[in-house]
């Protein structure tokens, strides 16, 4: 119910540190279930999706302790339950990783159908295809997915579509299966490589993560480790766009520039300067922003999770841009809100056509999903006047202290709790004493 209030027009400058990757952390945390000993996770982003993951683990019987900021120990050895109830799963898409992890370790899992951002139809048929191929029986009743396997056995699996979630889940289920699993047509996102690296450090035998084919030979035991989550490429990309949209000069540290290549390439086409260093990028603008043609696609293509942010930048570029969304059916929910700020965008099916305008104007708007919310923050930072963003719980699912980081770069942004706006009713005088 809280809001962000932004006074736009401040040029961002300085240095900002990127947190651990949300879409990695939400898989790595359930993956610890597979381990036979306690583990320590480092560089964990402190966002609401991660806190739901930790609460779910605790609900199952694991012991989670915060050792320091962004550093947590997880002891999975006390897990006795195998069911993730609706109240946890409905809040987060990534709750489906508990299916793969619980099935892989205990041969059984019962997880409510997952929630998450409303981006259109989000089937999980490919996840189920992998579980069934490995030997699980599945049932769906009263919104719960039930998986049971006497023994999981390595198999050949080929996905019909490239999917991050099903690739991760197939890895989780196959890591301790008997024999060898070969998975073809897999996703290649950096977080898939991160999951494989963490499990391999525990003693798993996963080869080929980051390519089209992954080969997993099952192991009997996984040992406790300490592991650091990779930097969040989408958080980094969001700050890169925010720097560009405000005509700023920002150095973004704790990043892997290789993971940002498609974002960097796209921003350069728009006229943004990006300098790459070992673990940082500097983003600055010294000329006009120009129109572009953007098409989202699986890694190493331009990420769908950066589409709303870059489309927002293009509202301020010279000329007519075209943005095509090829992953999700409904990822233009933010367009309506940007129009209220003066953007000139029309949407037909999966394509948005953007006519650049000279400036955006602050307005009250609502975040309809996580990246839509990030796009509205960028719009508010660049706009003339004040922008008030409602429903920021979407943003807090995936961005670690975003407003604090933006303030350190010179932005005027505050979080206003809803209750500050409600007047306190004066106490009524008691009648008759
Ligand atoms: N798909 C199927 N069947 C399946 C699974 C997916 O048809 O069984 C389709 C989807 O409908 C979609 C495409 O395959 O058209 C790709 O879906 P994918 O499985 O890759 O998406 P996801 O795993 O559900 C993750 C991220 C999303 C990100 C996508 C694509 C997490 C928790 N979520 O979702 O992140 O957009 O990959 O990169 O990792 C976000 O962070 O804002 C976000 C939405």
| Contacting residues for 73 by C-beta, under 8 A, at least 6 apart | 38, 39, 40, 41, 63, 64, 65, 67
Q: How far does residue 164's CA lie from ligand 1's centre (Å)?
A: 6
Considering the segment(s) 22-228 as one domain, its CATH architecture is Alpha-beta prism (3.65)
Q: Is 427 exposed, middle or buried, given 0-12, 13-18 or 19+ CB atoms closer than 10 A?
A: exposed
State which ligand 1 atom lies nearest to the alpha carbon of 117.
44
Candidates 53, 117, 368, 401; catalytic one: 117
Residue 417's pLDDT is 82
Using DSSP's 3-state secondary structure scheme, residue 84 falls into strand
State which ligand 1 atom lies nearest to the alpha carbon of 187.
20
Residue 425's pLDDT is 58
Residues with CB under 6 A from ligand 1: 23, 26, 93-94, 117, 121-127, 161, 163-166, 187, 304-305, 327-328, 370-371, 398
Q: How far does residue 152's CA lie from ligand 1's centre (Å)?
A: 25
**Domain-by-domain residue ranges, the chain?**
2-19+231-417, 22-228
Q: Where are the beta strands (DSSP E) in 8-148?
A: 13-17, 39-42, 63-68, 71-75, 83-84, 108-112, 137-141, 144-148
Considering the segment(s) 2-19+231-417 as one domain, its CATH architecture is Alpha-beta prism (3.65)
Tell me which residues of the chain have a pLDDT lower than 70: 115-120, 418-433
Question: In this predicted model, what pLDDT tens digit does every residue of 116-150 receive, in sequence order?
Answer: 556 667 789 999 999 999 999 999 888 889 999 99
Residue 422's pLDDT is 56
313, 306 contact by CB (below 8 A): no
What element of type H or E holds 280? strand 280-284
Phi, psi dihedrals of residue 253, rounded to the nearest 5°: -110, 165
State which ligand 1 atom lies nearest to the alpha carbon of 121.
11
User: Is the preceding peptide bond at 65 cis, omega within 30 degrees of 0?
Assistant: no
Residue 91's pLDDT is 78
Question: In this predicted model, what pLDDT tens digit does every residue of 251-266 receive, in sequence order?
Answer: 999 999 999 999 999 9
The reply to whether 22-228 shares the fold of 2-19+231-417 is: yes
Q: What pTM did the predictor assign?
A: 0.95
């Amino acid at each position: 119910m809280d809001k962000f209030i932004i006074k736009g027009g401040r040029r961002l400058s300085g240095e900002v540190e990127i947190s651990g990757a949300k879409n990695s952390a939400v898989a790595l945390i359930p993956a610890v279930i597979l381990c036979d000993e306690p583990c320590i996770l480092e560089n964990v982003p402190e966002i609401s999706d991660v806190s739901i993951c930790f609460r779910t683990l605790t609900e199952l019987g694991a012991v989670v302790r915060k050792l320091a900021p962004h550093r947590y120990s997880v002891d999975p050895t006390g897990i006795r339950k195998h069911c993730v109830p609706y109240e946890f799963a409905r809040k987060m898409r990534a709750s489906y990783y508990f299916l793969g992890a619980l099935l892989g370790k205990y041969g059984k899992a019962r997880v409510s159908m997952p929630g998450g951002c409303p981006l259109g139809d989000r089937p999980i048929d490919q996840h189920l295809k992998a579980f069934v191929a490995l030997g699980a029986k599945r049932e769906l009743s009263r919104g719960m997915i039930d998986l049971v396997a006497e023994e999981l056995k390595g198999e050949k699996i080929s996905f019909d579509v490239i999917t991050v979630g099903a690739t991760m889940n197939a890895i989780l289920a196959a890591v301790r299966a008997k024999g060898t699993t070969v998975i073809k047509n897999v996703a290649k996102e950096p977080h898939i490589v991160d999951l494989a690296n963490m499990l391999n450090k525990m003693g798993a035998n996963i080869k080929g993560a980051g390519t089209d084919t992954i080969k997993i030979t099952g192991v009997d035991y996984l040992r406790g480790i300490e592991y650091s989550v990779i930097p969040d490429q989408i958080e980094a990309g969001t700050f890169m766009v925010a720097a560009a949209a405000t005509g700023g000069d920002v150095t973004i540290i704790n990043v892997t520039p290789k993971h940002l290549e498609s974002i960097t390439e796209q921003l350069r086409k728009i006229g943004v300067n990006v300098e790459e260093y070992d673990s940082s990028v500097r983003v600055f603008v010294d000329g006009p922003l120009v129109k572009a043609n953007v098409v989202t696609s699986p890694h190493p293509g331009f990420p769908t999770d950066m589409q709303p942010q870059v489309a927002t930048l293009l509202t301020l570029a010279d000329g007519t841009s075209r943005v095509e969304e090829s992953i999700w059916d409904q990822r233009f929910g933010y367009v309506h809100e940007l129009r209220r700020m003066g953007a000139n965008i029309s949407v037909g099916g999966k394509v948005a056509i953007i006519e650049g305008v000279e400036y955006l104007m602050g307005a009250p708007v609502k975040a309809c999903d996580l990246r839509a919310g990030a796009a509205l923050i960028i719009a508010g930072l660049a706009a003339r006047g004040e922008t008030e963003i409602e429903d920021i719980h979407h943003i807090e699912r995936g961005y670690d202290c975003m407003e604090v980081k933006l303030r350190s770069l010179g932005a005027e942004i505050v979080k206003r709790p809803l209750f500050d706006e409600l007047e306190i009713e004066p106490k009524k005088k008691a009648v008759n004493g």
